[in-house]
Amino acid sequence: MDFEAIMMEGTLILKIRGELDQYNADRFRLRFDMKIVSPEVQKVVIDISELTFMDSSGVGFLVGRFKTARAFAKELVLVCSSSYINRLLSTCGIEKLIKKYTTIDEALS
C-alpha cells in the first residue's frame, strides 16, 4: 500500500493505492490519524479509487478513521470508483456511516 496526502483549503485528501489489508492497515493507522487530527484539517477525503484489494481489516481501517474524524468534529468522506470495492463497502453497510462519491471533485463540492 502507498498513500499520498494533499492539503487543499482545510481539506485533507488521502489517496490510497494498492492493497488495504491487515498488514497495511496496522502500518498506516497512526500516520493517518496524526494527519486527520491536525488543527488545520476540517474535512477529510479518503480516495480509495486505486485500491486493488481490500479485506475486512481494510473496512475496519476506514471505519476507524471515520471515528477518529468524528471525535475531532471533522467530516470524512470516501471516493471510490471500483465496482469490486463498492460491492464490498455495500455488503458491509459502510455507506450508512460514511458518504461515498465517485470522484474527488464531487467529494470537494
CATH number at 27 reads: 3.30.750.24
Residues of the chain short of pLDDT 50, as ranges, are none
State how far Cα 95 lies from the chain centre: 12
The whole-number pLDDT of residue 14 equals: 96
The per-residue pLDDT for 109 is 87
Count the Cβ atoms, other than its own, within 10 Å of residue 96: 7
Q: What pTM did the predictor assign?
A: 0.92
pLDDT of residue 37: 95
Range of the domain at 40: 2-108
| pLDDT tens digits, one per residue of 29-42 | 999 999 999 999 99
Into how many domains does the chain fold? 1
* Residues near 50 by beta carbon (within 8 Å), at least 6 away in sequence: 15, 16, 17, 18
